[in-house]
Amino acid sequence: MLHLQPADLRFNADGTPISHRFDDIYFSTQDGAAESRYVFQQGNALWERWLTCQDAHFVIAETGFGTGLNFFAVTLLFRQFRQQNPQSPLSRLHFISFEKYPVSGEQLSIIYRPLPEFSALAEQLQKCWQINGLPIEGCYRYHFAETTLDLWFGDINTQLPQLGDYMQNRIDAWFLDGFAPSKNPDMWNETVYRQMYRYTKPQGTFATFTAAGAVKKGLEAAGFSVEKRPGFGKKRECLHGKKLAKNVPHLTAPQINTPWYLPQPAKFDGVANVGIVGGGIASLFAALSLLERGANVTLYCEDDELALNASGNKQGAFYPQLSDDDERNIRFYVHAFAYGLQRLQWAIERGISFEHQFCGVALCGYDDKSAVKLDKISAYRWDKKLYVGMNREELSQTVGLPLPCGGGFIPNGAWLAPRQFVQNAFALLETMGLSVKTAQKITALSPIQKHWTLQNAQGQTFRHDIVVLANGHRLHRFEQTAHLPLYPVRGQVSQIATGENLIKLNSVICYDGYMTPADQAKTSHCIGASHVRDCENRDFSITEQQENQMKIQHNLAMDWTREVDTSDNRARIGVRCAVRDRIPMMGNVPDFERQAEEYRNLFNLRRRKQPIPAATNFENLYLVGALGSRGLTSAPILGECVASLIYGEPLPLSEDIIHALSPNRSWMRKLLKGTPAK
């Protein structure tokens, strides 16, 4: 399920790419860009609609990304629109596309060599793809300034439904551009048309190059009005149409399949005024994504400085958590890792100063249990840019020191200095308009007249339209969050001096703990971390310091580990926020009391197929939490998710993952089984 087959293409005498698999061209041999503009841009009347659009964003969905020509062409059109209409409320374009057989970055380079108007965009996409290797199924989000691209890899029949209940009535226009219906019938079918109708806004449109009778009938049966218009070039006709407000038997009522997990956007007028409670990595990326959308953002940090708690270590590892027993969690962390790599590149390109090294991360099979787990992970047959299984000799050579075991290697993994990164990135965000208030312990939240009032320990109050809680292990200390099943985990990371052998370590190694290569000054390493559940104490522990040393010396048991010496007692203690099911929380803050009452008979309502209302949440109150020990990896995509949700934009993760992240999941699992939530 996770793996994709790459595109199998060749080039004809004119240099036009042709699919071997479908024996069809990717775009017109006459002028692919002109065809795209005529069929899709004009067929959906984009420019005219943008001129009258009163929304902040416009959503286009496409069936068949191919070489990306339609995306590149409409991105340039939107940039032209923004230049000519800078006062328009429409400021962002969102492009969703589906692709089962992705083209490689190298092929992209060849295709766009003779098309210089698209070369910069193609090069940017090529860089994104080169970082990750062959993607897995699901959504990958890429940013192109004012345009956001969500590429859903995999069969459209399985991926399109993963837009989920949330995207119902949210798509403005469709580009139907798979290979010809006669050659790719799996994509042109009744199920796809019905899903299209479900996701399309009233009066939303579609356009396609084909005029096939079966396509016309299928779209009409789904509920669209369909018209023919002259085709491009030698093609006689093509189709376009609209979703009308008429009675369609299969869509007489909203199709909300899981209302208890339905994400709910914020309600606000004008510029969003957002308060974020926190001061670490989760707060940072939530603030960044909100600022990029034009929000006014104020950060409230309890400590005197930013990044003093779980985000404050000198060195931290950046890599995905690859499970051997939970495919959904694997998909979340792989997609989070891919997005995080983009955000780290963003930071580097903007000159944010932080120590880091893309040195890779080695996972050691140090005992029988871990070796079996890594064998199972290797059995997924990952792309070599994501994960490579290695024997003892290969892994030892890769990390630069002898190891007692084989394992796996994540080539694009890295270490970075979290505190330095977070503090300097926040400094950049302040130049973008972020207001930072430190030494502000927020003790209470109160909804007053469609706003949230935040009260600090001194009794001062602050008012915001929207609030995002991202304050780590303190997240569930508010009345509204008290029922969330979160718990604190104390972690002590030891800093040790380097040595004659330790200095040779050239990648992060993990072994029921971790050790980083030497810092940029080549003087010290970090090892750790201890794991003490339900403990918020941040005092130094000599016992945990010694345990950190013993872990590496016991689990790896090589001569070079004798150089590991924690006796100078340099360490840093932080408290992480965790949850039992090993995946973070992101989304609306749920009203536990109301949900427990409204859904107390949920099991029977479902069994009887009776109407079920959407979950009651605290309006305009959101959270990002329970990042555990993978905050560096998961925070970027979680911040982007919560900002997208607040603004009612498409979400960059599949519906099943969004459900897994839902803050009310623990008691909803009980209610769905007929067990009381309390």
Q: Give residue 478's pLDDT.
A: 97
Q: In the numeric block, which tokens belong to residue 436?
A: 């930072």
Same domain assignment for residues 540 and 566: yes
Beta strands across the sheet bearing 356-357:
316-318, 414-416, 356-357
CB 291 within 8 A of CB 433: yes
Q: What is the pLDDT of residue 91?
A: 97
* Helix (H), strand (E), coil (C) string for 98-129: EECCCCCHHHHHHHHCCCHHHHHHHHHHHHHH
Residues linked to residue 200 through DSSP beta bridges, in sequence order: 171
Tell whether 370 and 281 lie within a shared domain. no
Out of 140-154, 252-266, 271-285, 536-550, pick the least confident: 252-266
Whether the bond between 529 and the residue before it is cis, its omega within 30 degrees of 0, is: yes
Is there a single domain that holds both residue 429 and residue 405? Answer: no
Distance CA 27, CA 62 (A): 14
Residues 378, 444 within the same domain? no
| Tokens describing residue 367 | 């005992």
- Angle (deg, nearest 10), helices 327-349 and 119-132: 130
CA distance linking residue 478 with residue 375, whole number of Å: 43
Within this chain, do residues 571 and 633 fall inside the same structural domain, yes or no? no
* 161 has a pLDDT exceeding 90: yes
What's phi and psi for 560, nearest 5 deg?
Answer: -65, -20
Range 145-148 contact pairs with CB under 8 angstroms and sequence separation of 24 or more: 145/79, 146/78, 146/79, 146/82, 146/91, 146/92, 146/93, 147/75, 147/78, 147/79, 147/92, 147/93, 147/94, 147/95, 148/92, 148/93, 148/94, 148/95, 148/649
Supply the CATH number for residue 389's domain. 3.30.9.10
Residues 475 and 494 in one domain: no
**Whole-number average pLDDT of the chain:** 92
Q: What is the pLDDT of residues 523-539, one digit of tens each?
A: 999 998 999 999 999 99
List, in order, residues 6 or more apart from 489 with CB less than 8 Å away. 473, 531, 532, 533, 534, 535, 575, 576, 577, 578, 628, 629
165 C-beta neighbours (distance < 10 Å), count: 19
Report the pLDDT averaged over residues 341-367: 96
Q: Name which residue leads in pLDDT, 181 or 43.
A: 43
With a cut of 60, say whether residue 120 has pLDDT above it: yes
Instruction: Report residue 30's pLDDT band, with 50, 70 and 90 as the boundaries.
Output: low
Give the torsion sign (CA, 554, 543, 486, 425): negative
Q: pLDDT grade, residue 55 (50/70/90)?
A: very high
Report which DSSP code applies to 516.
P
Strand partners, 420: none
Mean pLDDT of 446-455: 94
Structure tokens at 532: 């003490």
Cβ atoms of residues 90 and 6 within 8 Å: no
Overall average pLDDT of the 496-503 stretch = 97
Angle, CA 86 vertex, CA 81 and CA 88 arms, to 5°: 80
pLDDT tier for residue 624 given thresholds of 50, 70 and 90: very high
Ordered alpha helix ranges (H), 565-624 = 592-598, 602-607
Average pLDDT over residues 283-295: 98
Note whether 151 and 240 are same-domain residues. Answer: yes
pLDDT band per the 50, 70, 90 thresholds, residue 67? confident
DSSP-assigned letter for residue 649: P
- In angstroms, rounded to a whole number, what is the distance separating the alpha carbons of residues 114 and 674? 62
Non-local (6+) Cβ contacts of 253 within 8 A are none
DSSP summary character for residue 567 = T
The answer to whether residue 129 scores a pLDDT higher than 90 is no
pLDDT at 251: 52
Q: Which residues contact 666 (CB under 8 A, 6 or more apart)?
A: 484, 485, 579
In a domain, 676, yes or no: no
Between 246 and 350, the more confident residue is: 350
Residues 502, 409: Cα–Cα separation, whole Å: 19
User: What is the Cα–Cα distance from 93 to 146, expressed in whole angstroms?
Assistant: 6
Strand pairing report for 585-590 and 617-625: antiparallel
Clarify whether residues 480 and 502 are in a common domain: no
Half-sphere exposure of 327 (CA within 13 A, CB side): 9
> Are 275 and 399 within one domain?
no
What residue ranges in 470-584 does DSSP mark as E strands?
487-497, 508-510, 514-515, 524-528, 532-533, 571-578
Please tell me the total count of domains within the chain: 3
Classified as helix, coil or strand, 474 is helix
Please provide residue 40's backbone torsions phi and psi, each rounded to the nearest 5 degrees.
-95, -45
Each residue of 396-427: pLDDT tens digit? 999 999 999 999 999 999 999 999 999 999 99
Of 173, 167, 119, 169, which is closest to residue 139 (Cα–Cα)?
167
Of 116-120, 140-144, 176-180, 333-337, give the lowest mean pLDDT range. Answer: 176-180
Strand partners, 390: 407
Residue 370 lies in a domain: yes
Same domain, 383 and 480: no
Residue 319 has pLDDT above 70, yes or no: yes
151 assigned to some structural domain: yes
Same-domain check for residues 72 and 144: yes
Alpha carbon distance 607, 7 (integer Å) = 44
What is the mean pLDDT of the segment spanning 202-230?
95
Residue 427 pLDDT: 97
**For the domain that residue 650 is a member of, what is the CATH number?**
3.50.50.60
Higher pLDDT, 40 or 187: 40
Task: Answer yes or no: is 206 within a domain.
Answer: yes
Q: Check residue 39 and report its DSSP letter.
A: I
Interacting residues of 419 by C-beta distance below 8 A, sequence separation 6+: 307, 308, 311, 312, 313, 314
Look at residue 510 and tell me whether its pLDDT is greater than 80: yes
Q: What is the mean pLDDT of residues 187-199?
A: 93
In a domain, 610, yes or no: no
Residue 1 has pLDDT above 60, yes or no: no
**Strand-pair category, 466-469 with 617-625:** parallel
Tell me if 512 is assigned to some domain: yes
Q: Which two tokens stand for residue 51?
A: 């001129």
76 found inside a domain = yes
Q: Where are the beta strands (DSSP E) in 166-321?
A: 171-176, 200-208, 224-230, 237-243, 273-277, 296-300, 316-318
Question: According to the 3-state scheme, what is the secondary structure of 304-347?
Answer: CCCCCCCCCCCCEEECCCCCCCCHHHHHHHHHHHHHHHHHHHHH
CB 370 within 8 A of CB 512: yes
Query: Could you give the angle at the alpha carbon of 188 between the alpha carbons of 185 and 189, nearest 5°?
Result: 100
pLDDT at 670: 95
Predicted confidence at residue 13, as pLDDT, reads 61
274, 296 in Cβ contact below 8 A? Answer: yes
Say which range, 184-188, 538-542, 611-615, has the weakest mean pLDDT.
Answer: 184-188
Q: Is 90 within 8 Å of 58 (Cβ atoms)?
A: yes
In a domain, 341, yes or no: no
Q: How confident is the model at residue 252 (pLDDT cuts 50, 70, 90)?
A: very low
CATH code of the domain covering residue 146? 3.40.50.150
> Do the strands 296-300 and 273-277 form a parallel or antiparallel pair, or are they unpaired?
parallel
| pLDDT score at 254 | 57
Domain that holds residue 140: 9-246
The helix-helix angle for 281-292 and 418-431 (nearest 10°) equals: 30
Instruction: Please return the burial class of 94, using the count of CB atoms within 10 Å of its CB with bins 0-12, 13-18 and 19+.
Output: buried
Shared domain check, 26 and 86: yes
